[in-house]
Structure 1
């Protein structure tokens, strides 16, 4: 165990302490909108991501919160109200809108991938090749348990944490207050979102995805963007385990149709009773 190992341990501990400070802010917000259970899910989820993801991709958001907390002292209720106006509607999602979010997700995913391929083909003419790297975990060895852990972290935990971090707090409650034009706030938050993944190859792809997630958040709120993010990561996860884009699209359509039929059946049974 060298100096680098101890430095990494100290870095992890420091980041976790910063996160605990951050939750003073998020806990107040979540209490106000009535989502108290997220107070426990988000801290555990974010620490798991920091411990298991190789690259500390949440570091920029943590540093942003450190700046916010000490500059504005938003842990004080009076200052909190001043800097963080809470729109409770952003935290509620009707089932009909949830269905819309899930239905549009494979179409947008396929569109983004086609756009990415077109950009790649154009850059390839100039001998520039960008590759979307697979998720890099230090503990995964490609057996069932490892893929299960990967699925939970990537498809469930990461969207919950990232949407609360980048859309609710950074985009809606920081940049929207800082910039008069919403488009500037959207671009700035998407840029920070893309930089937080620490991958130069996927910088443009995650930036465009961040823009899309910002629009989804504006239309459907936090739960809408979180569910959409989960769907996008699920399709990416299918690619990681070896499915082609066409198979992913077909599988997603089948799952969505099954979900839609299940919901309609439940509604019909409820009407009959």
Structure 2
């Protein structure tokens, strides 16, 4: 478990710090390296958990009702984001300047959108729900809310934003609940949909 978390942290730091840009001047090459490192870390983690993937990504609980839950979860997350944004505006706080720089880069290098629309939701759901939630659930004798809180606190902390900690925590709780009811497939689909909606708004697609 800890090796998988370390790999996720390495992938996240590579993206957040834009590490390759410090020693490679060509932006296209640097961004390609960022993508490659992130996807490589994801592939290694998928290989580590290859035996559990069939169980984690089971479609057996997916039905019409599950998609209604997914839509409800996605809308709840978007409302959380909206309220968080309104609070930040009222407090006259700048919202995630690093996010703005990402959207600038995405306009220049659209391939970077593979991160929030594919790699990140898959990686984050696997780590925080498939690994950390499951580990907490087993070690608290099946206490769902304790496992949800543990995974959500870490999910919020890893985004390195104290001002947005509460909103990320609540988002983690929603995704943990979806995961508990319908599995990793649904929480990942919901995560992707939310990211798509936020990116569409920010890039004015």
Report the TM-score range of the alignment, normalised by the length of the smaller protein.
0.5 to 0.7
For 1:189-204, list aligned pairs within 5 A.
189-204=151-166
Larger Rg: 1
- Confirm or deny: 8 A CA contact 2:73 2:174 kept in the other structure: no
For 1:25-104, list aligned pairs within 5 A.
25-30=48-53, 33=54, 88=55, 91-92=58-59, 93-97=61-65, 99-104=67-72
**TM-score, with normalisation over the residues of structure 1?**
0.51
- Taking the aligned partners of 1:24 and 1:106, their CA distance within structure 2 comes to 29
One of 111, 123, 127 as aligned partner of 2:79: 111
- Taking the aligned partners of 2:65 and 2:56, their CA distance within structure 1 comes to 13
- Confirm or deny: 8 A CA contact 1:105 1:231 kept in the other structure: no
The CA deviation string for residues 30-51 of structure 1, in whole angstroms up to 9 with x for no partner, is 2xx2xxxxxxxxxxxxxxxxxx
The alignment of Structure 1 onto Structure 2 pairs a total of residues equal to 169
The CA deviation string for residues 57-88 of structure 1, in whole angstroms up to 9 with x for no partner, is xxxxxxxxxxxxxxxxxxxxxxxxxxxxxxx3
- Confirm or deny: 8 A CA contact 2:133 2:151 kept in the other structure: yes
One of 93, 97, 102 as aligned partner of 1:129: 93
- Seen in structure 2, the aligned counterparts of structure 1 residues 138 and 107 have a Cα distance that, compared at 3 Å, is closer
2:196 matched to which residue of 1? 234
1:177 matched to which residue of 2? 138
Q: CA RMSD in A?
A: 3.4
* Partner-residue secondary structure (3-state), 1:91: coil
- Confirm or deny: 8 A CA contact 2:126 2:184 kept in the other structure: yes
- Taking the aligned partners of 2:103 and 2:200, their CA distance within structure 1 comes to 20
- Taking the aligned partners of 2:66 and 2:151, their CA distance within structure 1 comes to 24
1:142 matched to which residue of 2? 107
- Taking the aligned partners of 2:148 and 2:70, their CA distance within structure 1 comes to 22
- Confirm or deny: 8 A CA contact 1:97 1:220 kept in the other structure: no
How far the C-alpha of 1:105 sits from its partner, in A, is 4.7
- Taking the aligned partners of 1:98 and 1:194, their CA distance within structure 2 comes to 25
- Seen in structure 2, the aligned counterparts of structure 1 residues 194 and 230 have a Cα distance that, compared at 3 Å, is same
Q: For structure 1, which runs of at least 5 residues remain unmatched after alignment?
A: 34-87, 244-273
Q: For structure 2, which runs of at least 5 residues remain unmatched after alignment?
A: 1-21, 24-32
The CA deviation string for residues 5-53 of structure 1, in whole angstroms up to 9 with x for no partner, is 5xxx9xx99xx78x84x555412212xx2xxxxxxxxxxxxxxxxxxxx
